Structure 1
């Protein structure tokens, strides 16, 4: 075998090794360090406080939970004071609570998890497509595997008068996030792959209303929030205003009014850090609640969807990382305009968790929650990995370019020497 051919093969092998090493190293956290080397909760909270102080302008509520109990919490504000009972609009974090509402219907025997959602809908149905809509089941809507291709994203409305009906929003959402058509339809084979769909949760909102005979906000209040003692949590905009909202901040420190939504179940829950701590506590070992059975909670926290070979979604909850006890760190994040970012992480095996609700930063809550996951488990949070992708690809491209350049130089010298 000629030297040039050996050089080509060696270059290709080196590129493959470099690419694999950077990818695996990033996903496994080989060069990531925890926010603190100490296992003490007060050290973790101290590190979070320092990060918030250095990076954040706006409102933020934080709580650290150990074995189902809040062991430390703090709130900061650039405007009107906030505390653990202040009300935040938490965007997609509400999907986790919406999933609870749907699973109550399942436990009550009013809907079947594996049944087509169209079986229960009369006010609106999916537009015609090239795919079998019988595969668009309630369970697949919960796990974002129903084949919907909307990838919504709702930006909301400036006033209550602009809010669309559910049916109109599902047909074409006027508040669709930039670059999205706003049309909820089946664009892929149901069950084939995971594809995040805000529109799927708007369908589930309609399902709840059709089956229960109540407005979505009233149903969730009666069946979820009141039984759990979540007295400062609502999907009702007017009730949230009456409870008193924390100010919405933009990244430059200015305030903006909160926005109005049709897609309540997908993106417009209002809640407080204290109520989210209660929500986590009742799911902890030894927690007491009568809304859902432990069997259902276990099913929700199990893998129902994968992406890039990783388990990413249960029924209404994201699977962020292995918890090192044959389960997952679960929860949900929310992100919306002007700069709403919320995150909850929870380990069902231990009752440990973290809550960060904030406005004024686009990703700070998600970053804090990801730091907690790595601090607790040594595993990289899926969203932390996603945020590292751009830098990871830059390292891969740079390294591959250097390897290729070296290979070309060596090959050129070998070719020149051979000619001589």
Structure 2
């Protein structure tokens, strides 16, 4: 119906009848839409419940291994994780939010969609969104030297970076060259450091000083320390603590009413998932949860409902149907900053309808995961309150990915291969990193797989790989006669290169779009 038709109906002699007919039509349309939306939501809810009832699985299956079809409850028991909260999104809306198990082992206190969990490094993505809101308001610039914002502390020169210029873009994408990967938790009763004590590594801080270890922009090197510099920029620019800034810029706009950067978290917050060790026993007593003074990097407390709203808000901005962030800034947030795996905060993978952003969180007793499908609006949040929650979260993610049905994160099936045949003997040897491969190609491998020399062993029908000079090795499972996958590190694959003379002279390590090349040591 175009504007002219509507105008004619409004000015017709039989306006009351036309208005009545129009009202009836609109009412029928709204009822039909509501019914369709409700049916779609019910369908998605049923799909999610089925996935969690029968769809948990490992990422890599051994040759001949059947898909196990685990239930969430049996895997929670297997991993000794008492409580889990999950939110699922479809087309940019949360369609399923529920808790499983208990907030504390041995009690009947249920987890629900509003239960608070420590979410570890997922904090970094919420901090990045806080920063980007201020960038959108013109109060911060992505490519300005952050030392020009800082008053009480400065990034200082190092032998590798005698004239450093570090920007917010670098801090958020982990390309700033700063050290301190992560931080230790603080038990009840332990003194907590200030932000400046964290940055300088002074007691009671437990970390090393945050200093440059690479020239800015040279490589992607994950740095919780760099995100703490980002926090200082936020606080010194606004004159407010991070908790207040995030509430104004993120929590209130997205109605994240349960989320907070407060540490230690007060018991008055209520409905808190307590911390549990690897055996499923409550820890961090007497309170039952640790503190995380490194707020911007790992100190957020949030719920499945709140983080579902956050994922939806970011996706909506990227797709141009939300106003949380301007679309051009959301697009920058979701574009890799070379040579990193990260955009402005999140990690990024895939293309087209399989384009996703994601990030995990890992404090001592809590594991978290968020993931969003940028083109379709699908996504999910997984929160756990046990030390073994990382393995459980991976299995849940596999089930939810399968339920989404976009082909992201499919099961990887190894093949049967007789590795005792003589043809595979020359896989063994020492292989040295080819430093001529640009960091733009090495990407995340330059961070978590920064190994100068690999030792490959072929024995007892297995290919095993480890750091040269050390005894510890990991089995690699065959996918083809010359390509192998790690059952321990998701998406990590190894390919042996046999040259035209029939000799294995090199191998490649791949992780998503990242690739490192190793040549045989003569």
What's the TM-score bracket when you normalise by the shorter of the two chains? 0.7 to 0.9
- Determine if contact 1:174/1:182 at 8 Å carries over to the other structure: no
Give CA-to-partner distance per residue, 1:91-149, whole Å, 9 cap, x none: 11111100011112212222210111111111111233120454311100100001113
* Cα distance in 1 between the residues matched to 2:376 and 2:203: 43
What is aligned with 2:226? 200
Aligned pairs, number: 353
Deviation at 1:287, TM superposition (A): 8.1
What is aligned with 1:54? 74
* Cα distance in 1 between the residues matched to 2:124 and 2:374: 18
What is aligned with 1:85? 114
Q: Which residue of 187, 194, 200 maps to 1:158?
A: 187
- The 1:299–1:240 alpha-carbon spacing in structure 2 relative to 1, beyond 3 Å, is farther
What is aligned with 1:337? 364
Greater Rg by CA: 2
What is aligned with 1:149? 179
* Cα distance in 2 between the residues matched to 1:94 and 1:48: 28
Give CA-to-partner distance per residue, 1:211-246, whole Å, 9 cap, x none: 010011111112210111110011013665322211
- Determine if contact 1:60/1:77 at 8 Å carries over to the other structure: yes
- Equivalent residue runs for 1:118-267 within 5 Å: 118-130=147-159, 131-151=161-181, 153-159=182-188, 162-172=191-201, 182-237=208-263, 241-244=267-270, 245-256=272-283, 257-267=288-298
- The 1:165–1:175 alpha-carbon spacing in structure 2 relative to 1, beyond 3 Å, is closer
Is the helix fraction higher in 1 or 2? 1
Deviation at 1:378, TM superposition (A): 2.5
* Cα distance in 2 between the residues matched to 1:87 and 1:226: 17
What is aligned with 1:271? 302
* Cα distance in 2 between the residues matched to 1:272 and 1:139: 28
* Cα distance in 1 between the residues matched to 2:205 and 2:216: 23
Give CA-to-partner distance per residue, 1:31-71, whole Å, 9 cap, x none: xxxxxxxx954542333574422221311101221112333
* Cα distance in 1 between the residues matched to 2:495 and 2:212: 39
- The 1:148–1:43 alpha-carbon spacing in structure 2 relative to 1, beyond 3 Å, is same
Give CA-to-partner distance per residue, 1:309-352, whole Å, 9 cap, x none: xxx21101111x31434x730021101103x1100110121110
Q: Secondary structure of 1:237's partner? A: coil
- The 1:263–1:157 alpha-carbon spacing in structure 2 relative to 1, beyond 3 Å, is same
- Determine if contact 1:87/1:232 at 8 Å carries over to the other structure: yes
- TM-score by length of structure 2 reads 0.61
- Determine if contact 1:157/1:175 at 8 Å carries over to the other structure: no
- The 1:163–1:143 alpha-carbon spacing in structure 2 relative to 1, beyond 3 Å, is same
- Equivalent residue runs for 1:224-373 within 5 Å: 224-237=250-263, 241-244=267-270, 245-256=272-283, 257-285=288-316, 289-306=322-339, 312-319=341-348, 321-325=349-353, 328-338=355-365, 340-360=366-386, 361-363=388-390, 364-373=392-401
- Determine if contact 1:341/1:357 at 8 Å carries over to the other structure: yes
Would you say 1:72 and 2:96 are equivalent positions? yes
> Higher relative CO (CA 8 A, sep ≥ 6), structure 1 or 2?
1
What is aligned with 2:424? none
- Determine if contact 2:52/2:399 at 8 Å carries over to the other structure: no
Could you tell me which runs of 5 or more consecutive residues in structure 2 were left unpaired when the two chains were aligned.
1-45, 57-69, 411-442, 450-463, 466-472, 486-493, 504-522
- TM-score by length of structure 1 reads 0.75
Root-mean-square deviation (CA, aligned residues, Å) is 3.3
- The 1:204–1:282 alpha-carbon spacing in structure 2 relative to 1, beyond 3 Å, is same
Q: Which moved more, 1:51-60 or 1:197-206?
A: 51-60
Give CA-to-partner distance per residue, 1:365-387, whole Å, 9 cap, x none: 2442255446643344999xx99
Could you tell me which runs of 5 or more consecutive residues in structure 1 were left unpaired when the two chains were aligned.
1-38, 409-420
